Amino acid sequence: MSLHPLYAQPDTSLNECVISLGSNIEPERHAAEALDILDNECELVGRSREIVTTPVGYQQQPNFLNAALLVRTRLTMSDFRAYLKDVEDRLGRVRGPIKSGPRTMDLDIVAWNGELVDDGYLHQDYVRVPVDELLAATGRASA
């Protein structure tokens, strides 16, 4: 996917990342733990409210809790993506045969330094709604 502007990033020496968060296994607990980890290990700038959504793809599973987070980091995008996978693992994520199946935590980069890097934002309300709320709440406007 090519990069598309999502919002204008404020001047900063850190990389700014919008993250889509999703969980449907003990979602309240795992979302709180993910926030705690990211707040302690990154600079947590803002977060959206949590919303509950029905599963996409595989339907025989509980509803998801979704939210969006804005963090700043000194890591590169590839290193930060690996870091997010590590956070998922620390929260008990098991990657099974069903890609869209149940999970303790799913953390995906939606935007990096104001550039859209995940087209899920364009096609999935469970990504777009929390991200748009987050951008508005943090003074960033979607393009």
What confidence tens digit (pLDDT) does each residue in 5-58 have?
Answer: 666 666 568 999 999 999 999 999 999 999 999 999 999 999 999 999 999 888
**Residue 2 in this model has a pLDDT that exceeds 70:** no
Query: Across all residues in the chain, what is the average pLDDT?
Result: 91
Q: Write down the domain spans for the chain.
A: 4-137
Per-residue confidence band for 142, with pLDDT thresholds at 50, 70 and 90: low
DSSP-based three-state secondary structure for 132: helix
Q: What is residue 87's predicted lDDT score, i.e. its pLDDT?
A: 98
Per-residue confidence band for 91, with pLDDT thresholds at 50, 70 and 90: very high
Record: fold of 4-137:
Alpha-Beta Plaits (3.30.70)
User: Under a CB-based contact definition with an 8 Å cutoff, are residues 141 and 57 in contact?
Assistant: no
- According to DSSP, residue 125 is labeled H
**Residue 113 in this model has a pLDDT that exceeds 90:** yes
User: Under a CB-based contact definition with an 8 Å cutoff, are residues 40 and 33 in contact?
Assistant: no
% pLDDT > 70, the chain: 90
